[in-house]
Structure 1
Amino acid sequence: MNSLPAIRHVASSSKSALGYIYLQCHVKPGASKQREGIISVSEDIIEVCVSAQAREGEANKAVREVFSDVLKCPKSDVEVVRGLKSRDKTIAISGIDVKGDEQKCISGIRDQLLNAVE
């Protein structure tokens, strides 16, 4: 696997205080509708099941919807930035204000993800 943490903050290149939260994910497409969602959160990967198939971007769209719902942010703020054709993806969440405390922000997101685990 990779050595990056599952959840990390990447500062914006602009002067804005808003950066990006990057999420390292392993996606399992074609799951049953009942299993759709976050299934586990570890130090280095977030496992996500989606019922959509891995074709024509359907699974990527479903992954964006899962994170949008769990993190209560607009789908337009959720983007697959790496791994468009892979099960291992990097998801960028924009528009999150870390308010100067990166660790507190990351642990808040981790808590939201853990609370969503079925």
Structure 2
Amino acid sequence: MRSKSDCLEQVTLPPFIKTTAQGVHLSVKLQPRASKTGIAGVLGNELRISVTAPPVDAAANQALVEFLAETMDCSRGQIQIVRGQTSRHKTILITGLSAESAAQALS
């Protein structure tokens, strides 16, 4: 007979995803004015995301939110930049989505 712990698989999350009481936090390094919008890889504990928008009048932040909403199949209202509004290093809060779902969508 299998024990309960045998049935539960440990899910290893990438270092840029953290689970909090509010939802899922993503650590992102944003690269504005890129040639194309997309995931550029992982750098240390941050997910690198490139957007074509310039870092002017929050255009790059808006492009980041729209890209994440499309990639994770959720609404833009579920995604909030909680740290780094004017920095390339950002912390993003995503509500209504599990960390496992976020990891799968970003892989």
Shorter-chain TM-score above 0.5: yes
Q: Per the shorter chain, which TM-score range?
A: 0.7 to 0.9
1:37 shift after superposition = 1.3
How far off is 1:106 after superposition?
A: 2.5
Q: Which runs of 5+ in 2 are unaligned?
A: 1-14
Q: How many residues align?
A: 93
TM-score for both structures, normalised by structure 2: 0.79
- Root-mean-square deviation (CA, aligned residues, Å) is 1.5
| SS of residue matched to 2:96 | strand
Q: How does 1:16-31 map to 2 (within 5 A)?
A: 20-31=23-34
User: Is 2:69 the counterpart of 1:68?
Assistant: yes
Q: Match of 1:77? A: 78
Residue equivalent to 2:11? none
**Post-superposition offset of 1:111:** 2.2
Distance 1:43 1:6 in 2: 8
Q: Name the CA distance, whole Å, in 1 between partners of 2:102 and 2:96.
A: 13
Given the two structures, how large is their TM-score scaled by the length of structure 1? 0.72
Structure whose CA Rg is larger: 2
Structure 1 runs of 4+ aligned residues shifted over 4 Å read none
State the identity %: 30
